Amino acid sequence: MKLQATIAGLELAVEVRRHGEVVMATIDGREYQLEAAHQSGSSVLLRTSGGKMFDCRVEGKALSGETVDVFVGPRHYAVTLTDPKRLRSMGAAGGHADGTARIIAPMPGKVVRVMVEQGAHVEAGAGVIVVEAMKMQNEIKAPKAGVVVTLNATVGATVNGGDVLAVIE
C-alpha cells in the first residue's frame, strides 16, 4: 500500500506490505524488512532482521488525513498519513476489482519460487511468487482472482523493489 506520511515537518513517501508477520516497508527509498509480533490493540512489537526491537504504540484514528500519536519506546511522534486511493473512492483497495492487478516486488531480493504458470487461473489470496530478502522468504499473494496474463519472474532471478513480477486479469 502506497501512502504519503508527514512526520516532524517532513513529507515522506511510504510503501508498506505485510505478509503475515513479515512487514516490508520503503520510506523515501529507505528499505526495511521487519517482523511484526504481539500486535494487540494499539501496540505492536517490530523487530529488524538484525534483532533491533521497537516497542510501538499507535493512538488515535488511523484514517487517511488524520494525525495519530505514535510512541516508539518513550519517544512520541505525530504522524499524518494520506492515502491517495482514499482521495478517489472506496472499493479500490486490493487492486482493481474489475481490471488488472499487478504483483510488484516489495523490495530487492531473489525469486526463490514461482507457484503459477502463465495463463493459469488463480484465486484471490493464493500464493504466486516467493521473494527472499534479508534471509526472510516472503510469499506474495494474488490480490484478486483471475488469469495470470504476464509472468516476469523466474526462479533465481534478482528483482528490484517496484518491479512488476506478474499481472493478473
Partner 1 sequence: MFHKILIANRGEIAVRIIRACRDLHISPVAVYSESDAGALHVRMADEAHCIGPAASSESYLRVAAILDAAKRAQADAIHPGYGFLAENGEFARAVREAGITFIGPTPEAMEVMGSKTNARRAAIDAGAPVVPGTTEALQSYDEARDAATKFGYPVMLKAAAGGGGKGMRQVARESELRSALEAAQSEAASAFGNSDVYLEKVVERPRHIEIQIFADTHGNYVHLGERECSIQRRHQKVIEECPSPLNDSDLRRRMGEAAIKIARAVSYVGAGTVEFLFSNVTRDFYFLEMNTRLQVEHPVTELVTGFDLVREQINVAAGQPLSFTQEDVRWHGHAIECRVYAEDPDNSFFPSPGQITYLRVPTGPGIRDDSGVSEGDEVSIHYDPLISKLAAWGRTRAEAIDRLRRALDEYAVGGIKTTLPFFRDIVRDDEFIDAKLDTGFISRFNERRQRGTGVPPVSAHAQDARATQQDIAVIAAALAYTEKQSTLLTNHRGPQSKWKIAGREAALAASRMRNGK
Residues near partner 1 (CB under 8 A) are 1, 3, 5, 7-8, 12, 14, 16, 18, 23, 25, 27, 30, 32, 34, 36, 39, 41-44, 46, 52, 54, 56-59, 61-64, 68, 70-77, 79, 81, 83, 90, 93-94
CB of 37 to partner 1, least distance (A): 12
Give CA angle at 153 (160, 50), nearest 5°: 45
The smaller minimum CB distance to partner 1, of residues 71 and 114, is found at: 71
Query: How many angstroms separate the first and last alpha carbons of the chain?
Result: 19
Residue whose grid cell is 516497508: 25
CB of 152 to partner 1, least distance (A): 26
Task: Let me know if 111 is exposed, middle or buried by CB neighbors in 10 A (0-12, 13-18, 19+).
Answer: buried
The smaller minimum CB distance to partner 1, of residues 3 and 115, is found at: 3
- The closest of 104, 169, 166, 168 to 138, measured between CA atoms, is 104
The smaller minimum CB distance to partner 1, of residues 44 and 114, is found at: 44
Grid cell, residue 116, equals: 503459477
CB of 168 to partner 1, least distance (A): 19
CB of 111 to partner 1, least distance (A): 24
Q: Is 111 helix (H, G, I), strand (E, B) or coil?
A: strand
CB of 96 to partner 1, least distance (A): 15
The smaller minimum CB distance to partner 1, of residues 57 and 110, is found at: 57
Helices (H) and strands (E) in the chain, counts: 1, 16
The smaller minimum CB distance to partner 1, of residues 81 and 116, is found at: 81
* Torsions phi, psi for 44 (to 5 deg): -145, 145
